[in-house]
Amino acid sequence: MDYLLQHPGTVAWRTLQHIELVAAALAIACAIAFPLGVVVARKRRIGGIILAALNAIYTIPSLALFALLIPLLGIGTWTALVALVLYAQMLLVRNVAVGLRGVSPALIDAARGLGMSAAQIFWRVEVPQALPVIVGGVRLASIALISLATLASWIDAGGLGALVLYGLQHDDPSRAVAGALAAAVLAIVADVGLRRLQHRWE
Amino acid sequence: MEKPGGASLRLHGVTVRYRGRAAVDGVDLDVAAGEFIVLLGPSGSGKSTLLRTINRLVLPDAGTIEIDGRDAAAEPPEALRRGIGYAIQAVGLFPHLSVARNIAVVPELLGWGQARIAARVEALLALVRLDPARYRDRYPRELSGGEQQRVGVARALAAEPRLLLMDEPFGAVDAIVRADLQEETLRIHRMLGTTILFVTHDVDEALRLADRIVVLKDGCIEQVGSPLNVLANPATDYVAALLDSKDAVRRLQLLNARDALRSATARPEMAKGDDWPRVTPQATLREVLSVLLGGASRTMVANDDEVLGSLSFDDVRAALARTEG
C-alpha cells in the first residue's frame, strides 16, 4: 500500500489512462459488433462463419495477439486498441445475436399485425427486447478489457499495467500491487454499474 | 364512445400453399358489416392462415380479398394493417412498454397528437373495464392473464378499426376468465358494431360468440351457418363430429325460454301454478331443464311484471326437435 499512499497522483493518472484505453476500445468494439450481431442473428450461414472467426481470435492468448499485431502496427497505444477491439468482438457479437434471436416470435407477429414496418419492428420491439442481453455482453466485455488492458503496457501502451510491469521488473512489489488493486477496483465498479443498467431493462 | 361501425368483407377463391400443399384452398366468404364471424376448426384446418390473409400477414397465392369493396392488395400492407384491429394471445403485448404505450402503438404509428392519444387510451381502458388511473402506467407482467387480454383487445381497437381480427385471443386464460372475456367481447361488439373475425378451436366459444360459424377442414369451408343451424343440421359427418352435435344439452344452451314458448302446449293460460319455479324469457333451455330436473312439473316463464307462459319437459323436447329440419 506504500506506493499508493505515496504516489496517489501517479496511480490516478495511470487509472485514467487505463479507463481511456478501455472506453475507446469498447466504444469502437460496440460500433462494429452491433451490425455484426444483427447479421449473425439473421443470416445463419454467414453468421456461423463470423462467429467461428471471432471465436478463433478469442482463443489466441492475449500476449500472443499483441505480438502478432506488432509487425503490422508497431508498438504503442494503437496496437493495444486494435487488440482489445478484436478481443471484445466475440463477447459482444454473440450477445447481440443471442439477444435478437431470443425475441418472442409472437411479439414480432403482433408488431407486424399492428402495422409496424420492418425498421420499426427492429428499433421499437427487437432491440428493446434484446437490450438486457446486449448490455450483459457489454458488461462481460468491459471486465475482460479492463483485465486485458493491463497487458497493454508490454507494448508500451501505458495504463495500470505499466505500474505492475515496472513493479515486477524493478523489485517494487508495492507498486505492482497498487496497479493490480486499481485494476480490480475498476473491474468491480464496471461490473456493478452495468449490472444495474442491465436489470433496469429486464 | 363513438360507434365506428363495421366493414364488409368479401373473400373470393383465397388460396395459400405451403410447399405445394394448400393450407387454404379456394375459400369464398361474404361477411356483412357488423357481423361476428367465428372461424372454427382443429389445428391444421387453415383457420389462422385464412385470418392472416386478411391483413396480409400471409400473402394468398390466389384469390382476392375486398374490404368495404376495396381490394386489400391495392394498399401498402403496413397501412392496411394499421386500419385493421389485430388481437392475439396475451404474449403479444410488448413487455417493455407500459399499458398506455401498448395501447398507443397504432395511434403513434398513425401520427396522432399526444393529447388525442392520451384521451383515446383513457376511453379504451374504460371500455375494457380497467380503471385508467390504476392500469395506465403498469407493465404487462404486473397484470393477470385476463387483464393482459383486456389490454390486448383495447390495443386492437385503438385506431377505431371497422374490422377486428382475433386469433385465439383467449387461448391462454382459464375457463372462468375466458367466459368473462367472451362476455366483454360480445358487449363491445354490440356497442361498437365492429365486424369481427375470431379464430378458435373451442366449440363452446364459437357457439357462444358467433353470429355465423365458419367450419374449416383442410383449408376448405365445410359449413357456414348460425350456431344453432350448424349444431342442429351439420352438413357433413366432420361437422357433426367436431361439434359433437348429438349432445342435446349443448344445443339447449343456444335456445332460450322465449323460443320454447312457441310450442303448442306452452300457451300463457297454462301458467297458473303459483308454486312453479320461475325463469326469465332469456334463460337458456339448459337452465330450464335444470329447473325441471329439480322436481317441478312445469316452470313459469315471466318478466318482472308479466307472465309469458310455462314450460314442461315436452315443451323443451319440442323446441329441440324444431331445430332439426
Residues 6+ positions from B40 with CB-CB distance below 8 Å: B47, B200, B201, B203, B206, B210, B213, B214, B215, B216, B242
Q: Is A117 in the B-facing interface, judged by CB distances under 8 Å?
A: yes
Contacts of B81 in chain A (CB under 8 A): 112-115
**A115·B96 Cβ contact <8 A:** no
Residue B20 three-state SS: coil
Write down the pLDDT at residue A202. Answer: 66
As a whole number, the mean pLDDT across chain A is: 89
**Closest CA relative to residue B83, chosen from B162, B201, B194, B165:** B162
| CA B48 from centroid of its chain's CA atoms | 15
Would you place residue A155 in the very low, low, confident or very high pLDDT band (cuts 50, 70, 90)?
A: confident
Residue B167 three-state SS: strand
Write down the pLDDT at residue A130. Answer: 95
Residue with cell 443498467: A197
Q: Measure the CA dihedral B314/B320/B321/B325, to 10°.
A: 160
**Closest CA relative to residue B156, chosen from A104, A117, A113, A129:** A113
Cell of A58: 478469442
| CA B155 from centroid of its chain's CA atoms | 17
Would you place residue A164 in the very low, low, confident or very high pLDDT band (cuts 50, 70, 90)?
A: confident
**A107·B86 Cβ contact <8 A:** no
Would you place residue B2 in the very low, low, confident or very high pLDDT band (cuts 50, 70, 90)?
A: low
**B109·A116 Cβ contact <8 A:** yes
What are phi and psi for residue B207, nearest 5 degrees? -65, -35
Burial class (CB in 10 A: 0-12, 13-18, 19+), A116: buried
Write down the pLDDT at residue A68. Answer: 86
Q: Is A113 in the B-facing interface, judged by CB distances under 8 Å?
A: yes
Which one of A106, A115, A129 has the shortest CB-CB distance to B109?
A115
Tell me if B62 sits within 8 A of B13, measured CB to CB. yes
Q: What is the DSSP string of B48-104?
A: HHHHHHHTTSS--SEEEEEETTEEGGGS-HHHHHHTSEEE--GGGS-TTS-HHHHHT
ipTM of the shown complex: 0.81
**B92·A110 Cβ contact <8 A:** yes
Tell me how many domains chain A contains: 1
Q: Is the pLDDT of residue B298 over 90?
A: no
Would you place residue B173 in the very low, low, confident or very high pLDDT band (cuts 50, 70, 90)?
A: confident
**B78·A107 Cβ contact <8 A:** no
Tell me if B88 sits within 8 A of B101, measured CB to CB. no
Q: Is the pLDDT of residue B295 over 90?
A: no
Residue A145 three-state SS: helix
**Cα→Cα distances A39→A28, A94, A95, A97, B281, Å:** 18, 11, 12, 8, 64
Write down the pLDDT at residue B208. Answer: 92
Which of A114, A123, A131 is best to mutate for the B interface (most B CBs within 10 A)? A114
Distance CA B175, CA B181 (A): 10
Write down the pLDDT at residue B271. Answer: 52
**A110·B86 Cβ contact <8 A:** yes
Beta strand B212-217 with B220-225 is antiparallel
Which of B78, B84, B149 is best to mutate for the A interface (most A CBs within 10 A)? B78
**B81·A114 Cβ contact <8 A:** yes
CATH code of the domain in which A182 resides: 1.10.3720.10
Residue B311 three-state SS: strand
Q: Is the pLDDT of residue B15 over 80?
A: yes
**A113·B55 Cβ contact <8 A:** yes
Q: Is the pLDDT of residue B135 over 80?
A: yes
Least reliable range by pLDDT among B17-31, B260-274, B276-290: B260-274
> Among all residues of chain B, which has the CA nearest to that of A201?
B96
Tell me if A190 sits within 8 A of A142, measured CB to CB. yes
Contacts of A113 in chain B (CB under 8 A): 55, 57, 81, 86, 88, 92, 165
Least reliable range by pLDDT among A42-51, A189-198, B76-85, B316-325: B316-325
Give the domain range for residue A33.
Answer: 2-201
Q: Is the pLDDT of residue A153 over 60?
A: yes
Residue with cell 402495422: A115
**A112·B95 Cβ contact <8 A:** no
pLDDT tens digits for range A92-115: 999 999 999 999 999 999 999 999
Q: Is A199 in the B-facing interface, judged by CB distances under 8 Å?
A: no
Tell me if A96 sits within 8 A of A130, measured CB to CB. yes
Q: How many helices (H) and strands (E) does chain B have?
A: 15, 13
Which of B94, B98, B141 is best to mutate for the A interface (most A CBs within 10 A)? B94
As a whole number, the mean pLDDT across chain B is: 90
Which whole number is the average pLDDT over B98-116?
96
What are the residues facing B301 on neighbouring strands?
A: B279, B309
Which whole number is the average pLDDT over B171-199?
92
Q: What is the DSSP string of A6-41?
A: H-HHHHHHHHHHHHHHHHHHHHHHHHHHHHHHHHHH
Write down the pLDDT at residue A76. Answer: 81
